[in-house]
Amino acid sequence: MFEFLWHLGSFILALGILVTVHEYGHFWVARKAGVKVLRFSIGFGKPLLRWYDKLGTEYVVAMIPLGGYVKMLDERVDKVAENERHLSFNAKSVYARIAIVSAGPMANFLFAIFALSLMYVIGVQSVKPIIGDVGTQSRAQVAGLKEGDQLLEVGSQQTQDWQEVTLALMQHLGDDSVKVKIQTPSGIQSIKVLDLEGWSLQQRDQSPLASIGIVPFRPDATLTLAMVAPDSPAQRAGLQEGDLLVSVEDKLIKSWPALVQQIERSAEQPLKFHIIRDKSGMDVTVTPANKPMEDGLSRGYLGVVPVVEPWPEDAIVTRSYNPITAIGLGVTKTWQMVSLSFEMIANLITGQVSIKNISGPVGIAVGAGTSVSYGFVAFLSFLALISVSLGVFNLLPLPVLDGGHLMYYIIELIRKKPVSEKTQEIGFRIGASLLLALTAFALLNDIARL
């Protein structure tokens, strides 16, 4: 229950920040363009808070925290007094309307630059991209990548952590190959060519790294339990945090991965564990639950997390920059994420990336909760990523989104007259239907991941 409330609270906080930023972009430019703003609302439904400024704008914090809007004076929606017609949105030039509509997504991109710049000033601690394992007959193995190699560059991008490696790889989705600069544990540097012909992401939640056969280095998991999930098979059987797992079915446990394999093969089959708790040995029988997987098979699980050995000091990198350099990095990283987002949309259309990877509100909530638990810097990184995603999403040419309005205004510029009200209404209905279907599909994907 606590975990659910934590994720929900983090989701509301993150969405509230990003929606406020987005709507403030519309609001600020509308005011500058001379449009009268009637209401600035964060959320929908019944108002929880309400106040007015000296210009008569109503500010609202509403009950349903799933978006927001800026309501402007507009003759197409309400009757407008003759003395206020010059203050209405529809009375402004098409260039002014384009500026107002595009200001929301632009505000999201500027916020991403701010969040990333602040993150780089504070200091970012991350893990060096050192390979822990390479899949047999995978693209990585064919390229000659080996355990212990550190990825220094992917294509023309320097890569100081795994996030940068992933972003760089995704930029080459659809290419035939990419050059990868590595450094071996002995310090020897060389260039490898990674074959990407036919590479695509078709499995739900499969990372780009896993799809080419790279497993990042992580410290070994011990056989001591760090956490036992509430209401899990392990908790119901009596396992506790701090228990040392010694044997299962009277056979010594060699490693955590070996234990995981045995548990996955033993769904709904009782397993007798010998454990050590408070220096005393005891036997505990646990029946792994059955968890259906996407591949149609099922696997057993206990609901436990092991204690992990500490990271080696030479595997951690801490980066902190002065404000000027940090802003430059923030701009570069934001542009990289914006470009990659549009490329991913194109790859979804062409089928190189499966639509099963689309995430919705639940996925965002889990991501927000996880990032908050990791600290302020991680939360800033998450906010930047979602802010870019929100800005890009709103630029899609769906009539109910900012991109749809921009599409109509661009057509107006070309035709020298506005798109007819009837055509716009039909477009809005189609756009709303598509948006509703996309949201429902994303939500179903989220539920499938739980």
Enzyme catalytic residues: 23
CB neighbourhood size of 43 (10 A) = 22
DSSP symbol at 327: H
Nearest Cα residue to 289 out of 348, 229, 340? 229
DSSP symbol at 125: E
Return the bridge partners of 245, or none: 275
Looking at 265-401, list the stretches that DSSP marks H as alpha helix, in order from N- to C-terminal side: 323-350, 361-374, 376-394
DSSP symbol at 230: T
Kindly give, in sequence order, each residue whose CB lies less than 8 Å from that of residue 254, ignoring residues fewer than 6 positions away: none
Contact criterion met (CB below 8 Å) for 314 and 217? no
Measured CA to CA, the distance from residue 412 to residue 97 in angstroms comes to 11
* Chain center to CA of 237: 35
Nearest Cα residue to 276 out of 216, 330, 223? 223
Return the bridge partners of 69, or none: 41
Angular region, 281: left φ>0, alpha ψ -120 to 50, beta rest: beta
- Supply 205's token pair: 């939640």
Sequence-ordered strand ranges (E) for 375-444: none
The identity of residue 228, as a single letter, is V
Give the 3-state secondary structure of residue 330: helix
- Residue 198 belongs to what H/E stretch? none
Place of tokens 């019944």: 46
The identity of residue 280, as a single letter, is S
| ∠ CA 147-152-158, rounded to 5° | 150
